[in-house]
Structure formats: C-alpha cells, structure tokens
Structure 1
Amino acid sequence: MINFNYETVFSLDNEKQLSEWIEGVISEEGCQLEEVNYIFCDDAYLHKLNVEFLNHDTLTDIISFDYSVGKNIHGDIFISVERVADNAKDFNVPVNEELQRVMVHGVLHYCGYKDKTDNEAKLMREKENHYLSQLV
C-alpha cells in the first residue's frame, strides 16, 4: 500500500497514477510492496527530522526511514516540497519531474540501491531515469 500524507500546504493531483507507478517500480525490482508512506512537508519540518534523527544540521530534499525486511518493502519517505522546488530551479527541470525523481529515489534505496560512491550514484541516476521514462 502506498499512502500520501501532507504536513504542509501541498497535494498531489495524481495519487492513483503515482501509486501504480511506484508499485510497478518495486515489482520490476523483484521486491514486494508492504507499505510506503510519503510525507510531504516544508523545509523546517524536514530540517528538524534531519537534526533529530541523523544529526545533520542541513536542509535536504528527502529523508527516508527504511523498515524493509529482505525484499519486503516498507518505509516512510519525507520530502520537502520547498527543497524540491528550489532544486528544480537549480537543475532547470519542471518541479513535477524533480518531485517524481525524489519519490522514486527513496523507493530505489529500499530496493537495495546506494548512492555513496560515484559508481553507485551513476547506477541510481540510470535507474531513476529508466523509471521516470515509464511515467507518462
């Protein structure tokens, strides 16, 4: 089950399409969806989580808490819509595209992908692009 929660003035207008897309990503990666909760928030909300849980005193666009067991995917993905909008401007891409990239990025972590090294980050970006191309 995919759940969308809003802790700021924001809402998705295509929840059903995005749910089906994320479910497809998880399935294509050979994993089983248990539950993924997306929580859309502002910079202040996510910054507080970043300090409290990760000891990082910085702004970020996404924090994910992975409760997956093996290939059974379960987790909470917090996304700052403010940070996503700023990043979209910086990368010169539409806000929805950047938002969808961040959404799939979190799920790909749950499916076992990392992005700490250059090679890992390159593979992660390739996977993001692959799945973004499936969303029409």
Structure 2
Amino acid sequence: MAIQLDWSNEQDKFEISEEWIKLLETLLQKAAAAEGVEDGDVALTFVDNERIHELNLEYRGIDRPTDVLSFAMTESLDEEPEIIYELEEGESLDILPEMLGDIIISLERVQEQSEDYGHSFERELGFLFVHGFLHLLGYDHQDEASEAEMMGKQEAVLAEAGLVR
C-alpha cells in the first residue's frame, strides 16, 4: 500500500493542470514520509469562495470564506457513520486503504493569497495542501507552540519540494 491522492473539482474558475496534481502528489508523499505515514487515502476537492464559505458556515459556524478545510476521518463523531462495503469473492478488507480524510481548497483564495503574500500560485496551493494534510493527522495551531511546530513541518516539506518563499 502507499499514500494516495484522490481529487475532484467542484469549481469552474480555474482549470486544474496536470502539473498541479503532480506537485500535490509529490507533496503528499514527502509530508507522509516525514510523518511516518506509509499508506492511506486523502480526498482533495477544489472549490470556489462561495462553496467554501457555505462549508465554513455549516461545519465551523464561521460566516466567511476560508482557504482550506480539513475533515479527518480519525476524529471521533457523536454518531459514527455506518460504512458498508460489499466484498467481491476472494476480497478482504485489507485491500482498502485507510481513508485519512478530506481536504477542501478554495482556488480563488489560493490566487488571492498568492498575490497578497507575493509568491507563486503553486507555493500557496502547496502550502494550503500540506497544512490541510497535517490537520488530517491531528496537528493544530491553537497556541503559539503548536502553530510553530505545524509551520515548521509545513515549511520543511515545501522546502524539500523547492517551494520556498
């Protein structure tokens, strides 16, 4: 097994390039290796500001667009969803990769923030993706120490991929 990226596009303002997907797959491999994650599945969805605003309000109670949202599958819920998978003859559940979670990125925010911060679209996209991935693994930035730890991990992965400021 290996770490795997599944992506979908739910916006129409930006065309998704093969280069972006290759970059994100590379970043996923590097971030996973740095964290000792050998296999799993990450679902990535590209959206616009309107959609991420709706999701931010629905799931976080914050009435504005954001740049990235992460929904870890390992987080406990009050009610666990029932997941049903019908096995084919001779198949075992061991063939299914562990779903680490979902990352949702607003490409409009990527564009806005790359301009605001004065770096490339790809750098901002990579930053948000690695940020989202670390959230899937349980990292957070609620205080200065945890923010510094998370930022250090993000910057190390981005530097390894050549996405420096």
Q: TM-score, normalised by structure 2?
A: 0.74
Structure 2 matches for 1:53-92, cutoff 5 A? 53-68=59-74, 74-92=100-118
Percent identity over the alignment is 29
RMSD: 1.7
Which of 20, 27, 33 matches 2:26?
20
Decide whether aligned partners of structure 1 residues 73 and 100 sit closer, same or farther in structure 2, where only a CA change above 3 A counts: same
Amino acid at match of 1:127: K
- 2:6 is aligned to 3
Q: 1:40-74: per-residue Cα shift (whole Å, max 9, x none)?
A: 010001111111122110110011110037xx661
Q: TM-score, normalised by structure 1?
A: 0.89
Amino acid at match of 1:12: S
Indicate the structure with greater helix content.
1
Decide whether aligned partners of structure 1 residues 13 and 107 sit closer, same or farther in structure 2, where only a CA change above 3 A counts: same
Residue 11 of structure 2 contacts residue 47 of structure 2 at CA under 8 Å; is this kept in 1?
yes
Residue 27 of structure 2 contacts residue 130 of structure 2 at CA under 8 Å; is this kept in 1?
no
SS of equivalent residue, structure 2 residue 39: strand
- 1:105 is aligned to 131
Structure 1 residue ranges (4+ consecutive) displaced by more than 4 angstroms after TM superposition: none
Q: 1:11-46: per-residue Cα shift (whole Å, max 9, x none)?
A: 032223421330231132012432101100100011
- CA–CA separation in structure 2 for the residues paired with 1:6 and 1:76: 13
How far did 1:131 drift?
0.2
- CA–CA separation in structure 2 for the residues paired with 1:74 and 1:13: 23
Higher relative contact order (CA 8 A, sep 6+): 2
Residue 23 of structure 1 contacts residue 33 of structure 1 at CA under 8 Å; is this kept in 2?
no
Decide whether aligned partners of structure 1 residues 79 and 63 sit closer, same or farther in structure 2, where only a CA change above 3 A counts: same
Which of 122, 142, 149 matches 1:116?
142
Q: How many residues align?
A: 134
Which has the larger Rg?
2
